[in-house]
Amino acid sequence: MPDKSIDHAFTARSLTSAATDPTHAGALSFMRRRYSKSLEGVDAVVWGIPFDAAVSNRPGARFGPQAIRRASAIFDNDPQYPFQRDLFEAMAVIDYGDCLLDYGNHQETPAAIEREATTILASGAFLLSLGGDHYVTWPLLKAHAARHGPLALVQFDAHQDTWYDDGKRIDHGSFVGRAARDGTIDTSRSIQVGIRTHAPEDCGIRMLYGHEVEDLSAAEIARTILEHVGDAPCYLTFDIDCFDPAYAPGTGTPVAGGPSTAKILSVLQKLGALDIRGADVVEVAPAYDHADITAIAGASVAMYMLGLRAERLARGR
């Protein structure tokens, strides 16, 4: 096998090269991208944030980045469905590794995440983060808004995450309310998809409830998102519990009555017109998973996010 290589995460000669590792072997990075802390010439960065001290129910999402990386090995170097392209042919992507957090000093966590995210974003690269629980989106939003201004939030989730917040809580269920109150997000252009719980306030954010997602087609859901967000710069956050537990059992706060992976991936594919400035996939907790169902779903969502970015770069935008 003279044209084959192994451990592409370390041996890759180019940031745009395809991997040839067997799906069952080799060093595990996200989609076999080269591990690197150098941001020179990088179009997109994949970064893990292994934090789950803010959960209200089942912990374990600190292992989410590992699980998503492992599941992403199934994506070989063929053109990625449904984008019909090698995502890395013209898009230089690295796996930046994980954020270093002190498990004994959680009060330092938000600043640590925001600080490192700010460094990555200063390079001009697109940042795709792998959680971790949904609290990590709060410092990520702050870092992105500092660079781009207030952002429309496009949130796939079973929960609104607008619960009580005193401005100091480390809580995965209150970051949206905090971001709305301090102007980090533009609530008039923000939308939440798949909501299947009730919170005390909606903060003026448009919602598509679970039963509406069930009744609408993927094309109708995508059209609703595109029309509401319009041309506003946005941040795309995906809580894996947006999916029904049948498709994503490995998460901390599963809620029945959600959509399938097929339907929501179809929605994501149709969001290419959005001006997405950053994205994350959160709340994958592999201890509650079965046969990597949830990890595969999370890796697929992350791959679609990179697919949308590759298409945008191909359009010269």
Flag whether 133 is marked binding: no
Q: How many other C-beta atoms are found inside a 10 Å radius of the C-beta of residue 223?
A: 14
Pairwise CA distance, residues 217 & 212, whole Å = 10
The separation between CA 165 and the C-alpha centre of its own chain, rounded to angstroms, equals 23
Is residue 265 within a helix (H) or strand (E), and if so which, with residue range? helix 261-269
78: which residues sit within 8 A by CB, 6+ positions away? 86
Tell whether residue 159 is among the known ligand binding residues. Answer: yes
Is 8 annotated as a binding-site member? no
Distances (CA, A) of 88 to 85, 94, 149, 156, 218: 8, 10, 29, 26, 27
- Alpha-carbon distance 140 to 131, whole Å? 11
Length of the chain counted residue by residue: 317
Contact yes or no for 313/276 (Cβ under 8 A) = no
**Does 241 show up as a binding residue in the annotation?**
yes
Residue 161 is assigned to a ligand binding site: yes
**Contact (Cβ atoms closer than 8 angstroms) between residue 259 and residue 36:** no
Binding residues: 134, 157, 159, 161, 239, 241
Q: Would you list which residues are annotated within the binding site for Mn(2+)?
A: 134, 157, 159, 161, 239, 241
